[in-house]
Amino acid sequence: MSKMTPIQLSQVKIKDAFWSPWQNLVKDSIIPYQWDALNDRIPGAEPSRTVKNFEIAAGRSNGKHYGMVFQDSDLYKWMETVAYTLHMQKNDKWEEIMDEVIQLIEEAQEENGYLNTYFSVNHPDKKWTNLKDDHELYCIGHLIEAAVAYYEATGKDQIIQIVNKAIEHITEVIGEDQGKLAGYPGHPEIELALMKLYRITGKEAYISLCKFFIEERGRRTPHHFFDEETKKRGEKPENDYSYYQAHLPIREQRTAEGHSVRATYLYSGMVDLASELEDEELLEVCRALWENTVNKRMYVTGGIGSSAHQERFTVDYDLPNDRAYTETCASVALIMWAHRMVQIEADSNYTDVLERALYNGALSGIALDGKSYFYVNPLEVWPHTTNCRHDMNSVKTIRQPWFGCACCPPNIARLLASLGQYIYSVNHKELYVHLYISGETEFMMDGELIKIAQQSNYPWEGNINFRIDLKKPTPFTLAIRIPGWCKECKLFINGEEYPVEKVKGYAKVHKEWHPGDEVTLSLDMPVETVRSHPAVRENAGKVALQRGPIVYCLEEIDNGANLQDIQLDSKQSFSVDFDASLLNGVMVVKGTGFKTDTEKIQDQLYTTAQSAFIEKELTAIPYYAWSNRGENEMLVWIREK
């Protein structure tokens, strides 16, 4: 395995026309908004009471725990977001609030290290009795991620001591020794978190615990752990544990099954473990799961998890549009998984999916003002039916201010805040550019400090410039991703064209670089018509529009009602224009479509008369920006004429 490591967040400064406003929104609006939500100060939003739960557990207040069994994790993900923003810019106010929250968490932690407000307050007698459903390990996983992020941003270790104490307690209760629970979490997350903690502490106990959780999952020797645990509670075991990715031992799994967020968190931890242990067999399992996910179970937007029932994967090519579940958290987790895969082997197939999910499936989960959210991200919405059919009640036509199950809002926030760590990777002789996001980075190569400034108007334009700043001439390889959607590209070094030689989707330039060298990548970015595999029945005879990494959609506000009636001549040419006044500034795609001439049909439900069509100008906007102008229809897949 030829591994590389991401350039750390503290070494990357984003100064980008597209992404900087989002990151500023996180700092200036989303963090305070979500802090208010966690403290129940948002009028009309579902109550959270997350902070209140910790106050009760800490003995500062009286009452009962409110909300989900995993309510603690909402606070932890918010904390992780704050920590990432402190890498970008020091903020005394939020650092002080973080320290106060950490003190509150320490007070809520029990003497033996146990930490979960739901059980400490409501059910102290039921701790560790239901690893399958009760999210105790999941919550600690998110606390670990917040702890690592805050420690790296500030150097303060109080929160690290809290998680160390929590894990010491876990290892006293769970493990392979006689008398311990030989179990694992029903909702994976702690696995990838343990690997993060291992990297900053070097404690072998953490990687050992991660390995234990992964290797035990799905084993039936001598008995399936979830069967035994369920029987102890006097309940009937389930017939199928695929929802929890526990239907088979990990090394025997080849298809993405069950709850999509659980699955992709698990796969992320598996990649981390395989990388650290150089376990090629486990990595092959990760590759097989990846291929099944992205080639047979992923939407064109990078959304995954097609079914509202159990928020899960179903079967190959089952990708309905109007009932697409495609949870925001699932796209975030897919990005995390893709990012880990590309560190193992530099293949643009991973970063192409990462980019697709980033600009489409994840970003659609948050409103342009950062104050409302989608949990579910369908690819087709008709409010006329969506608002009245009980089998579509998971689909919302407008974003919500908060949720009783509020995992998605802080998840998209922490992704936006941590975006810098996804752009570059480095090994001892190569710098990889995965994403085109303007800004600056610095890294060490053979003992030399090298700085790279990236500048572009991506994703709206395809010209990307890199300027290299170093003290003395230094040889290394600059590997720049050529996106899979790009059919034609050119590469220039100091103004002279350089032959593009792609290695697994990366153009590699090995030379001795000099101070002030410039590299320019020019990507052709026409409007493309995308078609599905014929087995995706819902998309038969339909096309989607994509330009660069952006998937487009039609909205009723631009194109009139009954979008399903529109037909598109996909052989036509399209015009593109940037509209700075629309949706915070977007590139708009326009073309010609055809709609039924309703004036020539009678008001009959069915008729034998042949339909007549009239031409109509069509306007498509980026999918991520839909539903920011009120409730209306939306459509990604358009009938092809």
Residues forming the active site: 311, 407
Structure tokens belonging to residue 444: 């060490």
Task: Write the CB contacts of 571 (distance below 8 Å, at least 6 apart in sequence).
Answer: none
Q: In 391-463, which ranges are continuous DSSP H helix?
A: 408-417
Closest CA to 441 of 98, 6, 59, 93: 6
- Rounded distance, CA 426 to CA 7, Å? 7
In angstroms, how far is CA 399 from the centroid of its own chain?
Answer: 18
- Rounded distance, CA 52 to CA 63, Å? 9
Closest CA to 402 of 69, 33, 83: 33
- Rounded distance, CA 260 to CA 313, Å? 6
For residue 249, is the peptide bond before it cis, meaning its omega torsion is within 30 degrees of 0? no
Question: For residue 346, what are the β-bridge partners?
Answer: none
Closest CA to 180 of 145, 225, 125: 225
- Rounded distance, CA 22 to CA 369, Å? 9
What b/e string do you get for 106-133 counting C-beta neighbours within 10 Å, with b at 16 or more? Answer: eebbbeebbbbbbbbbeeeeebbbbbbe
Any idea which residue has 């399209």 for tokens?
A: 574
Closest CA to 93 of 35, 166, 12: 35
SS3 48: coil
- Rounded distance, CA 80 to CA 90, Å? 15
3-state secondary structure 288-300: HHHHHHHHHCECC
- Rounded distance, CA 302 to CA 355, Å? 9
Q: How many CB atoms lie within 10 A of CB 10?
A: 14
Structure tokens belonging to residue 302: 């990078």
DSSP 358-394: IIIIIGGGB-TTSS-B-SS--SEE-HHHHTT-GGGTT
Give every strand in the sheet of 489-493, ordered side by side.
Answer: 12-14, 439-445, 448-456, 463-470, 518-523, 489-493, 496-498
> Could you give the count of Cα atoms lying within 13 Å of 11 in the half-sphere of its Cβ?
18
Q: Is 398 exposed, middle or buried (0-12, 13-18, 19+ CB in 10 A)?
A: middle
SS3 614: strand
